Amino acid sequence: MAGERPITGRPFVYVGARVDLAHRRLLAATRTGDVEYAVAEGVGELLRATDEHRHRPSLRGARADRSVVAEARDAIIGGDPAAESLASLAVSLHVSPGLLSRYFSRVLGMSVTRYRNSVRVGHVLDRLADGEESLATLSSDLGFADQAHLCRTVRTHLGYTPSAVRRILDPNRRPGR
């Protein structure tokens, strides 16, 4: 960004769900009355989450690997129906499911399913921040098998249940709501 050499290609930075939540928590802290303490706490949490995230593998591997992964990422982020399963995503990209899995692991350091779930958890964060009340509706809209699947996935990625995340994103929220 500030270097003398231009960046070529399609660079991207993967931001995991924990970093996303820490950032949202920091933003929520700026809206509370105890700004100095809450913001300092939020900055510390964001730095810790970012430091944990930094140890993930960076883009590497053959250009074809990166190209296929970039197309798969675009399909997942864009909500392409083919991205709902590894098999259908692989067919749409004209590669085998095994090859797509290997490319994803090599390039991003995680499975296709983990990446897809992290994108869905990002959507959960958006909806909860916007005031979504029904976890059943949320799970149905975002393609989770059921509300329990949503809760397990969010807890796995964030370390918190959706109800706890809702309270984190709205510190003025009364318990039980």
- For 64-110, the pLDDT digits (tens) are 788 889 999 999 999 899 998 889 998 899 888 888 998 888 888 88
d(CA 79, CA 21): 21
φ/ψ of 170, rounded to 5, equals: -130, 85
Q: What's residue 60's pLDDT?
A: 47
Statement: the pTM of the whole predicted model exceeds 0.75: no
Label residue 55 exposed, middle or buried (CB < 10 Å: 0-12, 13-18, 19+): exposed
d(CA 88, CA 121): 21
Band of the pLDDT at 54, cuts 50, 70, 90?
Answer: very low
Q: What's residue 1's pLDDT?
A: 40
Average pLDDT over residues 140-160: 92
In this predicted structure, the answer to whether residue 148 has a pLDDT above a threshold of 90 is: yes
